[in-house]
């Protein structure tokens, strides 16, 4: 069982918007920033969002992140077929003294 | 363009030590944190630990007693050793670089522990 909780699945149709949640505690999300990764099958994870809401160079502005209290969200607007992937949230955990990941959310573009 | 490449045996016997190396090309290994992360088949990502270019380390407490991460700056490589492996250690192992601790990414003294560059991953199976 993962320290950070994500819904196992999410879906949407092309052009729609979808939001993926990530729930933690005061020891991780509540006191540290959240990062999001996109993982396509057979490829390495790709950093999508760091520091709650910052996009690395090259990541489309269709992807956005937010954090409130002990929860964070990844929003994807204008869904495209190539967005079909697994998405993981991650944060530092002050109790475990390490990085913890969510269990991942499989996004299906219908 | 910095690139990472994992190498090592794809099959390890139970109770033995898993050894992997990550070669950093296109840039220096200095001034960064270097990480190992794994993904068991059908499961999520798990952080294993990191090493700073100075040699300081931090490991996932669930693996702490079995993990050693080391650095060879002369070869621009860092390595992972995981002892007493079992089938539960079967996974794709990734090496990854932490985002640079520069003003571009940090807010004051707070810098994100996010992984911006990853190797392609290497599958390691633990089986007799």
pLDDT in tens, B61-70: 999 889 999 9
What span, in angstroms and rounded, lies between the C-alpha atoms of B86 and B39? 15
B94 contacts in chain A (CB < 8 Å) = 44-45
- pLDDT score, position B110: 82
- pLDDT score, position A32: 94
- Whether A47 and B116 lie within 8 Å, measured CB to CB: yes
- B121 reaches A (C-beta below 8 A): yes
What does the pLDDT average to over B37-46? 95
Nearest-by-Cβ selection for A44 from B94, B105, B113: B94
Q: What is the mean pLDDT of chain A?
A: 96
- B45 reaches A (C-beta below 8 A): yes
Contact B79, B72 (CB under 8 A): yes
pLDDT per residue over A5-29, tens digit each?
999 999 999 999 999 999 999 999 9
Radius of gyration of chain B (CA): 15
Kindly tell me if the per-residue pLDDT of B127 is higher than 90. Answer: yes
Place of tokens 């959240």: A34
- Whether B112 and A35 lie within 8 Å, measured CB to CB: yes
Please tell me chain A's helix, strand, coil percentages from 3-state DSSP, rounded to the nearest 5. 5, 50, 45
Q: How much of chain A exceeds pLDDT 70, in percent?
A: 100
Contact B61, A98 (CB under 8 A): yes
What does the pLDDT average to over A37-47? 95
Contact B98, A33 (CB under 8 A): no
B4 → chain A, closest CA residue: A44
């Amino acid at each position: 069982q993962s320290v950070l909780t994500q819904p196992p699945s999410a879906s949407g149709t092309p052009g729609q918007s979808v939001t993926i949640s990530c729930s933690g505690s005061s020891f991780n999300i509540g006191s540290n920033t959240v990062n999001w990764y996109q993982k396509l099958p057979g490829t390495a994870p790709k950093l999508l969002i760091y520091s709650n809401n910052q996009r690395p160079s090259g990541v489309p502005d269709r992807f956005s992140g937010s954090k409130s209290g002990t929860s964070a969200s990844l929003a994807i607007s204008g869904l495209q077929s190539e967005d079909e992937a697994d998405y993981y949230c991650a944060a530092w955990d002050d109790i475990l003294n390490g990085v913890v990941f969510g269990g991942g959310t499989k996004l299906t573009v219908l | 363009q910095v690139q990472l490449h994992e190498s090592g045996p794809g099959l390890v016997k139970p109770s033995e030590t898993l050894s992997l190396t990550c070669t950093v090309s296109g840039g220096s290994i200095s001034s960064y944190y270097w990480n190992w992360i794994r993904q068991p088949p059908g499961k999520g990502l798990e952080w294993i630990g990191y090493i700073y270019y100075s040699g300081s380390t931090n490991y996932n407490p669930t693996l702490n007693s079995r993990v050693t991460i080391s650095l060879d700056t002369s070869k621009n490589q860092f390595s992972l050793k995981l002892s007493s492996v079992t089938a539960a250690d079967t996974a794709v192992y990734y090496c990854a670089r932490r985002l640079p601790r520069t003003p571009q990414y940090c807010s004051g003294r707070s810098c994100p522990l996010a992984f911006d560059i990853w190797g392609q991953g290497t599958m390691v199976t633990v089986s007799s």
